[in-house]
Structure 1
C-alpha cells in the first residue's frame, strides 16, 4: 500500500514558527492564531511521531536533540511545498504581474535603469519593485526568497550567480577634514577618527565585512547621506567609486592617502533565489541586464584606446 503521511505541512510550519518566535504566545501573535490551537498542533505532531520535539522551560520553548534534527529536515520539506505552489502560480498566471529586484547599494543603478528602459516596451504592464539592500540584508532577501532577482556582493552556498560588475570602495574625507592633506597614513590612525558607515538592512544584521575598527561610528541609510556629512568636514568613509566622482572632481571630497593600498573591491553578481519558478518577465529583465554589462565590457577597449590617443 502507498505510504500515507501521519503529519501535515501546517503542523511543521507551526513548529517552525514556535521555535523561530521563541514560544507559543509569540508564535500565536505572529500567525494570528490562538495559543491553544498551536499547543494542540505541536502536541498532536509529537504524538503522531512518537518523539518529543519541544520542551518548555519557563515561558520559552526549546528544541530537544531529536527536535533539532526534525526541524532542519522539515524546513526543507516546507520550502519544497512553497516552491511547488509558486511554480503552480507562475504556470497559471503566465507573465507575472509584479517583478521584484533587490539591489545591493554598492551597485551602480545606471545599468539597471538601462535594462529597464529596454524592458518597458515588452513589460506587458508588469509592476517593477526595486528594493535597496545592504550586506546581510541582501543575504536575508535571498534566503527568504523575497525577490525574483537579486544583485548581491556575496553569492550564498547553493546558489549560482552571473558576474555583473566590480565596485571599487575608496576611503574619502571632506576637504575640511584634518586628514584631507595628510600623506602616508597608516590604517591604524583611523581608529580614533569618526567613521561613517552604511546601515545593514537585515532584520538581524551581522558585522562580518568592512573595516569597522573606529571607536566612534555614525550610521546612515545610504551613501549620499554619508557624503553630505563628509562634506561638512566630519568623519571618513569607504564609498563606491561611482558615488564620489562628482565630489572628487569639485574638490569637496579628498581620497585618503595610505602608505599601503586601501581600496576594497566588491564583485557583484546577479542571481535568482528560485530559478525554477522564475517567470518570463523576470527572465527577460535578467537577460537585458546581462546584455547591458556585456556591451559595457565590449566598449572598454574603445575607451582605453580613446584615453591613450
Structure 2
C-alpha cells in the first residue's frame, strides 16, 4: 500500500465542516459550495490518506473509526493555521508578535492578574512572556534583553542603558506568627530584641544587588529567593520579616500573622519603577501594557 499523501488545509476544513454540520448538504450551505464539490473534496481526502472517513451506507454520513481518530488531528491543524494567519495579520499591521514582561514580586498579584486578563482580551494573537523575580533580577532581565518591559523595585544604581520611570510603591510591614516570641513582646519592640531573632529576608541571585542588604536588621537571617516561601515560613513561626501589606492583609485580619510594632524600624515604602532599554521601545501591544501598568499601579505613598 502506498504511503498517505499530504492533505490540503481546504480538505481538512471541509472534513471538519461536514462533521460539525452533520451532513454533506449542510456543510455545502455553510461553506457556500455545491454538495458535489463537498463530496468530491472528501473523496479526494480519503484517497490522499488511504482511509475511509465516513460510512455512507446510512441516511446521514457517520464517522468511521479511522475518521474519529483523524478528526482531532484535522481540528488541531486547522486551528493552528488560523492562529498563524491571525498572528501574521497583526504583524503586517505593525503589531509585535510577542511582549515580554518581568515583574517584581512585590507588585500586587491581584492587580497584575487583572492587567494580564485585559491584555489577553485585547491582544489574543500577541504572545505574552511573563517572569516574576525579586530585586535586581528584574533589571538584569531587561538589561540582558530577555524582557522588553520591567516593573522593578528600588535599585542603588540604574545602568545607563535602562530608562526608569516612577510607577508607584507598596508598603512593607514587619510581621510574625502569633506564637513567635516577638509577637508576645510589648510594643514598641526595642531594636536590640528584634535583632536577636531570625529575620526572613528576600534576596535574588542578580549581580546588580551583590553585597547589598535591604532592610536587614537581625544578627541572623535566612535569605529566600521566593516571596511565597517567605510567606509560608513566617506563618509557621520560623522567623519575622517584612511583607507587602496587601499580601498579608487576610492573615492579619484572621490572626495567622501579627503586625509588629518596632521601636526604631518603621514600615518600609518599597518604590516601583517602570523600566525598559533606551534603544528598544515597545510596539503597540507593549505600549498598551505600559499604560495599564501606569494606571493601575498601587497608589500607596507614590514617589514624588
Matched, 1:270 2:274: yes
Does structure 2 conserve the Cα–Cα contact (< 8 Å) formed by 1:133 and 1:201? no
| 1:241 paired residue number | 245
Larger helix percent: 1
Any idea what the Cα deviations from partners look like across 1:83-103, whole Å, max 9, x if unmatched? xxxxxxxx9893222211110
Q: How much has 1:205 moved relative to structure 2?
A: 4.9
Normalized against structure 1, the TM-score is what? 0.60
| 2:290 paired residue number | 286
Query: Aligned pair in 2 of structure 1 residues 265, 253: CA closer, same or farther (>3 Å)?
Result: same
Q: How does 1:184-195 map to 2 (within 5 A)?
A: 184-195=188-199
Does structure 2 conserve the Cα–Cα contact (< 8 Å) formed by 1:171 and 1:239? yes
Any idea what the Cα deviations from partners look like across 1:62-104, whole Å, max 9, x if unmatched? xxxxxxxxxxxxxxxxxxxxxxxxxxxxx98932222111101
| 1:163 paired residue number | 166
Query: Which structure has the bigger radius of gyration?
Result: 2
Distance in 2 (alpha carbons) for counterparts of 1:128 and 1:276: 17
| 1:150 paired residue number | 150
Query: Aligned pair in 2 of structure 1 residues 118, 92: CA closer, same or farther (>3 Å)?
Result: closer
Distance in 2 (alpha carbons) for counterparts of 1:147 and 1:288: 17
Distance in 1 (alpha carbons) for counterparts of 2:192 and 2:92: 59
| 2:134 paired residue number | 134
Query: Aligned pair in 2 of structure 1 residues 265, 206: CA closer, same or farther (>3 Å)?
Result: same
Does structure 2 conserve the Cα–Cα contact (< 8 Å) formed by 1:135 and 1:200? yes
Is 191-200 or 219-228 further displaced after alignment?
Answer: 219-228
In structure 2, the residue corresponding to 1:161 is in which secondary structure?
A: strand
Query: Aligned pair in 2 of structure 1 residues 207, 213: CA closer, same or farther (>3 Å)?
Result: farther
Distance in 1 (alpha carbons) for counterparts of 2:252 and 2:202: 20
Distance in 2 (alpha carbons) for counterparts of 1:116 and 1:211: 31
Normalized against structure 2, the TM-score is what? 0.61
Does structure 2 conserve the Cα–Cα contact (< 8 Å) formed by 1:147 and 1:273? no
| 1:175 paired residue number | 178
Q: How does 1:1-309 map to 2 (within 5 A)?
A: 94-154=94-154, 156-158=158-160, 159-182=162-185, 183-202=187-206, 205-274=209-278, 276-293=280-297
Query: Aligned pair in 2 of structure 1 residues 139, 276: CA closer, same or farther (>3 Å)?
Result: closer
Count of equivalent residues? 206
Any idea what the Cα deviations from partners look like across 1:165-184, whole Å, max 9, x if unmatched? 21111111100001103122
Structure 2: unaligned runs, 5 residues or longer: 1-90, 300-304
Q: How much has 1:264 moved relative to structure 2?
A: 0.8
Task: State the 4+ residue runs in structure 1 displaced beyond 4 angstroms.
Answer: none
Is 245-254 or 152-161 further displaced after alignment?
Answer: 152-161
Distance in 2 (alpha carbons) for counterparts of 1:257 and 1:238: 12
Any idea what the Cα deviations from partners look like across 1:103-157, whole Å, max 9, x if unmatched? 0111113222222222223214112121111112123123222211100123625
Distance in 1 (alpha carbons) for counterparts of 2:112 and 2:234: 27
Distance in 1 (alpha carbons) for counterparts of 2:267 and 2:183: 16
